[in-house]
Amino acid sequence: MVETLAQSSAPICWVVSDGRRGIENQALGLAEAVQAQLAGRGTTMRIGRAIAHKDGSVALPDCGPPDLWIGCGRAAIPLAARHRRTFANCFFAYVQDPRSHYGDFDLILAPAHDRLTRPNALSMIGSPNRISDALLDEGRAAFSAQIDALPGPRAAVLIGGDSKRFRLTPRIADYLIARLQDLLARDISLMITASRRTPKALRDRLTEAFASHDRVWLFDGEGENPYFAFLAGADWIFVTEESTNMLVEASATGKPVYALPMEGSAGKFARLHAALEGYGAMRPWLGKLARWTYTPLAETQRAASVLIDRWYAEAAPTALDGEAA
């Protein structure tokens, strides 16, 4: 049945979000993993982006009606019910816990730390992401000159910022600056990037302390983002502990991951930290640098495989009916 459906059409996937990079990348990462696995079965899937704007308008892709609909973010939830009425034969998936409208989705890909238990839910460590060998190789190649200019070994430092549960206070900023200086003193080159949530005061301090250092590449947000190059070129990856997506993405590389402390309480995210530690990917940064290996976290690929199986199980009868007609 799977082969019959796969060979009978070139399916179209819509990735639906509000356009914010962190939100969209979760749905896009899952879509790209599905696309790659279908390509291995000889099926080409096209991906289009649908963006729900704050004013209520929606920018739809021009690739045709969807066979697969993958949403992420609150803006995508009300669109699911509307699109289900329009695209009756489409398979609807949602990344994260929607917290409502559960019946509008054929499959929900929920972080295990949310503890969502429903027949149409799949629990996974963290959320889907775009990390793959091909993407890392592409990122490394795009910035090879800059990475090669930094003597090894190298550490990628991914700095987030304030969240609902954590604060990047001046005390934490002092701590981060001191720890980065410690790594430089050990002859480790640094590739540092901040996020949109990083306080301006810390951004300014990072620039003052490291922008002119010959063993530091500090990405200031201007020009092409070297994020994937940082992941590919690092021997270690340091991530502030509130950045759940970056922790999971770092764990998908197979590189040692250290969590940098923030002020606040982890709450349910302590379960994610424990899962990544238990998997062997992440350790809290306690000042002692170590090297270790583990199989790269491949939850996105596992989720894509489950999605394909469920999607085809539902779509196959329709395909067979079409053949009989």
Spell out the residues 6+ positions from residue 122 whose beta carbon is closer than 8 angstroms to its own: 107, 108, 109, 110, 303, 306
Domains and CATH numbers, the chain: 2-125+299-324 (3.40.50.2300), 133-284 (3.40.50.2000)
Decide: residue 90, CB within 10 A, 0-12 exposed, 13-18 middle, 19+ buried: buried
Burial status of residue 110 (CB atoms within 10 A of its CB: 0-12, 13-18, 19 or more): buried
Confidence of residue 262 (pLDDT cuts 50, 70, 90): very high
What pLDDT, on the 0 to 100 scale, is given for residue 316?
54
Do 263 and 181 meet the contact criterion of CB atoms below 8 Å apart?
no
Strand partners, 197: none
Q: 14, 61 in Cβ contact below 8 A? A: yes
Q: How confident is the model at residue 6 (pLDDT cuts 50, 70, 90)?
A: very low
For 42, the 3-state DSSP assignment is coil
pLDDT 10s digits, 143-193: 999 999 999 999 999 999 888 889 999 999 999 999 999 999 999 999 999
User: Which residues make beta-bridge pairs with 237?
Assistant: 156, 257
Q: Residue 323: its pLDDT value, please? A: 38
Has residue 300 got a pLDDT over 90? yes
77 phi and psi angles, rounded to 5 deg: -65, -50
Nearest Cα neighbor of 185 from 213, 219, 218 is 213
pLDDT of residue 5: 43
CB 17 within 8 A of CB 77: no
Nearest-CA neighbor of 285 among 250, 321, 323, 318?
A: 250
Judge residue 231's burial from the number of C-beta atoms within 10 Å of its C-beta, 0-12 exposed, 13-18 middle, 19 or more buried: buried
pLDDT band at 263 (very low <50, low <70, confident <90, very high): very high
Percent of the chain scoring above 90 in pLDDT:
83
Q: For residue 271, which of 291, 247, 293, 290 has the smallest C-alpha distance?
A: 247
Which pLDDT value is given to residue 221? 83
Mean pLDDT across 30-37:
97
Q: pLDDT tens-digit profile of 218-261? A: 998 888 999 999 999 999 999 999 999 999 999 999 999 999 99
Query: How do residues 123-142 score in pLDDT, each as one tens digit?
Result: 999 999 999 999 999 999 99
- The per-residue pLDDT of the chain, averaged, comes to 91
